[in-house]
Structure 1
Amino acid sequence: MTLDLRVFVEPQQGASYDDQLAVARAAEDLGFSAFFRSDHYLAMGGDGLPGPTDSWTTLAGLARETTTIRLGTLVTSATFRHPGVLAIQVAQVDQMSGGRVELGLGAGWFAREHEAYGIPFPAKRFGILEEQLAVVTGLWATPADETYSFAGEHYTLTDSPALPHPVQERIPVIVGGGGPTRTPALAARFATEYNQAFPELATIAPRIAVVNEALADAGRDPSTLTHSAALVVAVGSDEAQFRRRAEAIGRQPDELREHGVAGTVGEAVDRLAQVAADGVTRVYLQVLDLHDLDHLELIAREVAPRV
């Protein structure tokens, strides 16, 4: 079993840029492969102080203050940016990082944050997401001596120079969601990775089978798509430390054990082995206490070598 372990944070719950920088540098030093963050502008419970940070502004800063760790969003909301602007932002951060960026893109779901900041929130968003994926990947794939045009229901681009070009030949694109048909088909068309966000554990393997079937229907080799899952993490060197970490993030120990990578080191290893057996090769560990860097150190020292 070899799992790619990544650190995933939710800064809208209350984290400054410096808080995120500290976690990203610790994750890099400890050997995690990536630092990812959510793309939200409003806390989901609590006051969210000191207030939200923009995902791509944050990642641009981290691109210059880290050296090896990969950086990305899980996931950027298609309602937040025009796809032409998003393509420029992500390609620029890719340049700033030397080719370490990945883009998770979703339709958006949190209506309240749109209301709070005056962002339009259409009732039907899947078509917007589909066109954004087409535009962003189309712009990046346009050769230097050509232009890119697109005519859709939601977006029209005419003779775009499709600049700037990313450093990477292909920026990895992550798609997720629970829809039975349209989302797997979207992943088959555009994604390099399909992510299951906080799934019920029993649904992981069946969902992978559905997505692989969509890949086959599209004439695509299933081995070309990475399967990942995002799971909350709370690990202790013993039961007492685990319970202290559960309390610090406002979660019940039994609930964490049921849904996440949680408990003692041995329990965390067993949970990761379980999701690997179901077909997941990459896990985003949702770290909710950004000030507990000893937590990351414990996972890197005691858990990661066993998975």
Structure 2
Amino acid sequence: MRLRIFIEPQQGATYETQLAVAKAAEDLGFDAFFRSDHYLKMGDVDGLPGPTDAWVTLAGLARETSRIRLGTLMTAATFRHPGPLAIAVAQVDRMSGGRVEFGFGAGWFEDEHTAYGIPFPTSGRERFERYEEQLDIITGLWATPVGETFRYEGRHYRLTDSPALPKPQQAPRPPVLIGGTGKVRTPRLAAAHADEYNVPFNSPEDTGAAFERVRAAVEAAGRTEPMVYSAAQVVCCGRDEAEVNRRAAAIGRAPEELRRNGLAGSPAEIVEKIGRFKELGAERLYLQVLDLSDLDHLELLAAQVYRQLQ
């Protein structure tokens, strides 16, 4: 089981804060540093100093880290056109020496679109159609051999004689992550496009059911390439109950609620619950760290949780 650090910087984080967390995660031996892709805070926080762009941030981190893998959970298809997004991700992959992973979702938070003038299709069906076409285009651009051109005729996007450049450093492409718990379309898209399928913030029981739906879709598609299965969970670890309570209060959550809906408690409690996800077939777990000023939390997770899992 590999542990990855996942942050939500739209809740309030400078680039420097994100860099400090990424470098700490790298130094402590975590497998990857991922961030969300949002332009508006959620809940009762001030969100200061304001949002940071996911791929601009990852480009900076690509040059200031050396080992840790970098990615998004999940880049929103509604924020960008597929051609420029394929260029940006490929460029950051080269800037990082081939350490990028591309988590990609349909987009869902309407308020952040209206706040920054981003068109938001109100029809969920249209958003998913656009998302599926973008997946076809981005992976198609990366897969086009150098010297050849790429064409695409979709309902929402059309590309004519694209040089399909630049190419990512990783061959044939950066790993593609698809997440969510949709029962029909998500498993189908994951089987067709994803290298990794992620279930965010669900119970072990619901996570296992979602894994099984994707396994069935993979089999139905006749796919032979392996699929990596992963989950994301909020984390709140403490050496004793007082420390658990302090960390829960810092993120505005109750310890017992966090125990029900995430990974909370002593290192032993957290290791036990991670074991339940591992039994379901999860190979990676994304630890959602919400208090980015508490680097001691990362040190505790590395020393007394991750070490036991290795």
TM-score bracket for this pair, using the shorter chain length: over 0.9
Listed one character per residue, the Cα deviations across residues 48-89 of structure 1 (whole Å, up to 9, x for unaligned) are: 000000000000000000000000000000000000000000
> Structure 2: which amino acid aligns with 1:101?
V
Q: Provide the residue aligned with 2:228 in structure 1.
A: 226
Give, as a single letter, the amino acid of the residue that structure 2 aligns with 1:83: P
CA offsets 1:115-151 (integer angstroms, 9 cap, x no match): 1001111023000110010000000011112111111
CA contact (8 A) 1:31 1:300 kept: yes
The offset of 1:201, in angstroms, is 2.5
Superposition pairs of residues 1-307 of structure 1, within 5 angstroms: 3-45=1-43, 46-122=45-121, 123=123, 124-169=126-171, 170-221=173-224, 224-307=226-309
Query: For residue 38 of structure 1, what is the amino acid of its counterpart?
Result: S
The CA distance in 1 between the partners of 2:245 and 2:279, in whole Å, is 27
Counterpart of 2:36, as a letter, is S
* Alpha-carbon distance, 1:200 to partner: 2.5
Q: CA RMSD in A?
A: 0.8
Q: Which 4+ residue blocks in structure 1 deviate beyond 3 angstroms?
A: none
Unaligned runs of 5+ in 2: none
Moved more, 134-143 or 200-209: 200-209
CA shift for structure 1 position 207: 1.2
In the TM superposition, what whole-angstrom CA distance separates every residue of 1:215-263 from its partner, at most 9, and x where no partner exists? 0011013x71110101000000111111100010100000100111110
SS of 1:229's equivalent? strand
Distance 2:11 2:162 in 1: 38
Matches of 1:200 and 1:33 in 2, distance apart?
A: 23
Q: What is the CA distance between 1:279 and its match in structure 2?
A: 1.4
1:32 partner SS: coil
**Aligned partners of 1:201 and 1:259 also within 8 Å:** no
Cα distance in 2 between the residues matched to 1:36 and 1:205: 23
| Structure 1: runs of 5 or more not aligned | none
Distance (whole Å) between structure 1 residues aligned to residue 211 and residue 9 of structure 2 = 29
What is the CA–CA distance in structure 2 between the aligned matches of 1:63 and 1:21, rounded to whole Å? 10
Contact in 2 for aligned 1:36/1:72 (Cα 8 Å):
yes
- The Cα offsets for residues 168-211 of structure 1, whole Å up to 9 and x where unpaired, read as 00210000112111110000111000010111322111111110
Q: Normalising to structure 2: TM-score of the pair?
A: 0.97
| 1:10 shift after superposition | 0.0
Structure 1 distance, partners of 2:303, 2:198, is 26
> What is the rounded CA distance, in whole Å, between the counterparts of 1:199 and 1:160 in structure 2?
40
The offset of 1:47, in angstroms, is 1.7
CA distance in 1 between partners of 2:99 and 2:207 (Å): 28
Task: Give 2:184's aligned amino acid.
Answer: T
Percent of aligned positions that are identical = 62
Query: 2: distance between equivalents of 1:47 and 1:245?
Result: 19
